Amino acid sequence: MTDFEALYNAYFHDVFLYVCSLSGDEHVAEEITSDTFFRAMRGIGSFRGDCEPRVWLCQIAKNCYFSYRKRQRALPLEAAEQLAAEEEPIGEALQRRETLCRIREILHSLDNPYKEVFMWRALSGLSFKEIGALYGKTENWACVTYHRARRHIKERLEEEEREA
């Protein structure tokens, strides 16, 4: 077994779950995960070992996912069909999607490292210790940064609700 095969076997599931949490779609997650490992295989020589391999792979996955989202152009008809297929009433589904879109917009408007730390914690489930190590900071720094980002998102949502 090659080193890359061991890497693939050890981290495929973690990367897949991370991408699934980003996309909310298993089919998209499969595609992005495959692309992630393809890119990792091509770039394995550039991996310096500054972080855990899972963190490195999740960074590649995140970049692959955002590239995918930029290329994706969902047709309004497809979105309506998907909403109709959901179990929850369409009004609730629209409200939930609207809220998720607002959270995503607010999240992407945050400055770094708040945006990144929030994504690593909330979407990939990294521990504060792992996030701190990723940035060369302490576990406490990662925890404080995450909670500040979370508070900022919550405050912006509440502010928007008051204005509506």
Q: List the CATH number of the domain containing 136.
A: 1.10.10.10
Query: What CA–CA distance (Å, rounded) separates 90 from 154?
Result: 25
Mention every residue, 6+ apart, whose C-beta is less than 8 A from residue 137: none
d(CA 34, CA 90): 33
Distance CA(115)–CA(135), nearest Å, equals 13
Q: What is the pLDDT of residue 69?
A: 79
Return d(Cα 4, Cα 84) in angstroms, integer. 42
Query: What total of structural domains would you count in the chain?
Result: 2
Which residue range(s) make up the domain with 36?
1-73
> Full-prediction pTM beyond 0.75?
no
pLDDT in tens, 15-55: 888 888 888 888 888 888 888 888 888 887 777 777 888 88
Q: Which of 18, 46, 73 is the last residue of a domain?
A: 73
Alpha-carbon span 14 to 143, nearest angstrom: 22
